[in-house]
Structure 1
Amino acid sequence: MFVINPYEAYKENSVSTASPGELTLMLYNGCLKFINIAKISIENNQIENKNINLQKAQKIINELTNTLNDDISISGNLASLYDYMNRRLLEANVHNDVTILEEVQGLIVDLRDTWKQVIVENRQQIYTQGGRV
């Protein structure tokens, strides 16, 4: 008999029904989660766990880079910023540097909060135009 974990089912449903904007928000939140775990791992001298989670954060940043639309002018700037963050995560991984992780974390938080505001404004615009969210 196969038992479904309700949390896993919810998580899978959340991803499969999310809009592209919500998926991007999930990626930012996931990246922050893995950076936080890596920070704690550095503080607890759990080097393997730090490495695993920083690689996960880098994979998310690579995914964010891959989803950029080259037809939008800001995409070039975001690509450069993502590249910078990836290099900084690599440096933090090599040197076990929590300060670098906090720098990247701050950049991700800014991007996430901006993205969240765009989603809210887009929903408000759709609502005021009589559309459905």
Structure 2
Amino acid sequence: MTAMRGAAAYGRGAGAYAKVGVESGVMSASPHQLIVMLFDGALASIRKARIHLQDGNRSEKGKAISKALEIVTNGLQAALDAERGGEIAERLDMLYDYIGRQLLAANRHDDVERLDEAERLLSDIASAWREIAPQAQATGG
């Protein structure tokens, strides 16, 4: 029983430490780095959803897809600045909307191909975003 309590306490402690690490990373991140973190989170959630889908764990698949959708719509899409971003922001808005619809359909129909499509598109955008990192740092963004 003591070993079980010790393991549980360790698990809570490790979870709290990880949360503090993430929060510290967010607090010290530049706006550009925050977007990279959003991409990473969405992509990780899609990968988790795929694993849960393949394992037949519909509940966890749904949670992972919901988390990815939340990041795409309330993180990446909400961060777009139509005024400053112009046509690029408009196109990204449409792309994020499409990705969101792919995620919803993947969840509704247990469709791995739609998950793959959402992941591929997000990976492509994330890759381009990472490439502009030196420019963003030089301009303070």
Residues 10-89 of structure 1 mapped to structure 2, 5 A cutoff: 10-63=21-74, 64-71=76-83, 72-73=85-86, 74-89=88-103
For 1:50 and 1:93, locate their aligned partners in 2 and report how far apart those are by CA, in whole Å: 7
Aligned-partner SS, 2:100: helix
For 1:10 and 1:91, locate their aligned partners in 2 and report how far apart those are by CA, in whole Å: 34
Q: Deviations over 1:31-53 (max 9, x none)?
A: 00000000000100000000011
For 2:130 and 2:98, locate their aligned partners in 1 and report how far apart those are by CA, in whole Å: 22
Does the CA-based 8 Å contact 2:32-2:136 persist in structure 1?
no
Q: Deviations over 1:73-127 (max 9, x none)?
A: 111100000000000100000110111111110101111111111113333x46x
5+ long unaligned stretches in structure 2: 1-12
Aligned-partner SS, 1:67: coil
Q: Does 1:115 align with 2:129?
A: yes
- 2:96 alignment partner AA: Y
- 1:70 alignment partner AA: A
Identity of aligned residues (%): 30
Name the counterpart of 1:129. Answer: none
Structure 1 stretches of 4+ moved >4 Å? none
- 1:119 alignment partner AA: A
RMSD: 1.8
5+ long unaligned stretches in structure 1: 127-131
Aligned-partner SS, 1:55: helix
TM-score scaled by structure 2? Answer: 0.82
TM-score scaled by structure 1? Answer: 0.87
Q: How many residues align?
A: 125
